[in-house]
Chains A and B, each alone.
Chain A
Amino acid sequence: MSSIDLIVGPIHPALHEPERFVFKIDGEIVVDVEPRLGYVHRGIEKALSERTYIKDIYLVERVCGICNVAHTLTAAQAIEQAFGVEVPRRSKYLRTIVHELNRLHSHLLILGVVCELIGFDTLFMLFWRDREVIMDLIEMITGNRVMSAYNIIGGVRRNIGDFEVTQIKGVLSSLAKRVKQYKKVFMDDPTIRARCAGVGYLSRAKALALGAVGPTARGSGLELDVRVDEPYAAYDEVKYCAVIYNDGDVWARLMVRLDELLASMEVINECLDKMPSGPIRVPVPEAAPQSAEGVSVIEAPRGELIHHVYTKRDDDKPFRYRIRTPTYANIPAVCEMLKGCYIADIPAILASIDPCFSCTDRAALIDTNSGEKRIIDILSLARRSKK
């Protein structure tokens, strides 16, 4: 029996998330998957321990440009813990608001990309149109569209006033209506049901054993949400319930994200109402006051994100810095999902874990018998699958 190797990759963005998959294929069915990583390994962990804490915040932000707020928030929390600094309550609320806005833009982005990959271009454009209003809000609060550099060690960089509060509330209330509409489309539309329901199944037991995180785990019925389990920032003071779907397929993972959009908007509104007044940051020494260890775990848009830092007394650089990004944790799980699926479903399944999507960039088909190599990209793979 001739088997074919299908190579997806290697061009991919973020530190721990460069994915290149080699698929062993029998006919149209994927038999086995082997991930190969590291095409864009930049060595950020090493660079972090060669720079000062202040510069590190800007470097961790560039681990991933999509969930940059999640990274700065985790880094700030980990370093504050090691320094023994307590930040003002108002800054915790502001951090939560910007973190949730970041999640809104990230979820809208991936929902759009999945729609494009399954051939629903209209919905892709609609999601991305709605994402722009969130980008405007982020720009208004932080001063930049993408790289916000909002969280700093000891608090946040900018305050918000009454004008911003009314603006945010107005935008969110109109966006909530649209998201409800999209949710209806995802529930009823035959195209989406046909391409997503029952595709890329991951059982709860497998999700747990393989260490899946975030919407990937919650789509398989695994109750893992750091916001509920280990509340950070202002999450211990706002109401939040984890969104769980038990289907374990692509559709369930997308529905988790859609429901989280609505939940995030409620969190932002509650934060805006409850936000205490007071200072937004405290002064922090440049060098570490003690040799200590800081650990911070948060729920980034893609799942659990952990930063682990060792500080050394009187040194202004971290001794060792470790980051584990959510997509990295989801790779064993996505390999499991891909086994037994059709080639045509590969793009949708890969995108359903939200792998910082640029990784699904180019693919090469190698016929093991003739050794002939054809380079195709995942979009034309998706286009081929639509026929």
Chain B
Amino acid sequence: MVNDHLEVIDSLGNELKEGLLDVRYLPEKRALLVLVDKALIFKAIEALNKISGGEMHLTTISGADLGEDYIELTYFLWLLPQRLRVIVKTKLSKDDLRVQSIVNIAPATVLYEREVYEMLGVIFEGHPKLERLFLPEDWPQNMYPLRRR
């Protein structure tokens, strides 16, 4: 199963064409890093789900405000048949913090997307219930604890 990531790279290239900004294998993390445009995030996860034959485990979504004018979203996936860790990254401009929700492909994201929404203010379109998760009821609107000013 050593060269499985090469096959995954090929099939991803076929599915996503030029929307795929970068894809490479990181030996120190033992993971495949996929960079995509935010418009294609749904398609990318769908393609990975297809490659794994539906045997995809979503570990988590992590959002980060790195002090620039964008917010970085990282999706951690585990493909069971390939036994491969895949890290999908995308960047959202702070002017337009909307991205398509992937709840339909991976129901596991339902809480992670809510968390990223309340901590960073990213809006997931198509999420069935995008509400506060952890913060108290009296927490002010439009204040996101993990945003940098």
Enumerate chain A interface residues (CB-CB to B < 8 A).
Answer: 18, 35, 37-38, 41, 43, 45-46, 81, 208-211, 222-224, 229-230, 295, 297, 304, 306, 308, 310, 319-320, 322, 324, 328-329, 331-332
Contacts and interface: CB of A to CB of B under 8 A. Distances in A.
B149 interface: no
Given A46-B146, A295-B29, A306-B59, A322 B64 contact: yes
Contact of A41 (B67, B87, B134): B134
A172 B135 CA distance: 44
Contacts, number: 85
B111 interface: yes
A294 B41 CA distance: 22
16 contacts: A43-B145, A81-B28, A209-B108, A210-B108, A211-B106, A211-B108, A223-B80, A224-B78, A230-B30, A295-B76, A297-B76, A306-B60, A322-B62, A328-B111, A329-B108, A332-B107
Interface in B31-64: 31, 55-60, 62-64
B66 interface: yes
A208 B81 CA distance: 13
A281 to B, nearest CB: 20
A329 B107 contact: no
Q: How large is the interface on B (under 10, 10 to 19, 20 to 34, 35 or more residues)?
A: 35 or more
A211 B78 CA distance: 10
B64 A211 contact: no
A207 to B, nearest CB: 9
Contacts of B85: 230, 297
A206 B49 CA distance: 15
A295 B60 contact: no
Contacts of B107: 209-211, 332
B62 A324 contact: yes
Contacts of B134: 18, 37-38, 41
Nearest to B28: A81
Nearest to A208: B57
Interface string B106-127: 1111111000000100000000
B24 interface: no
Given A224-B78, A230-B30, 5 more contacts: A41-B134, A45-B119, A209-B107, A211-B109, A306-B76
Given A41-B135, A297-B85, A324 B59 contact: yes
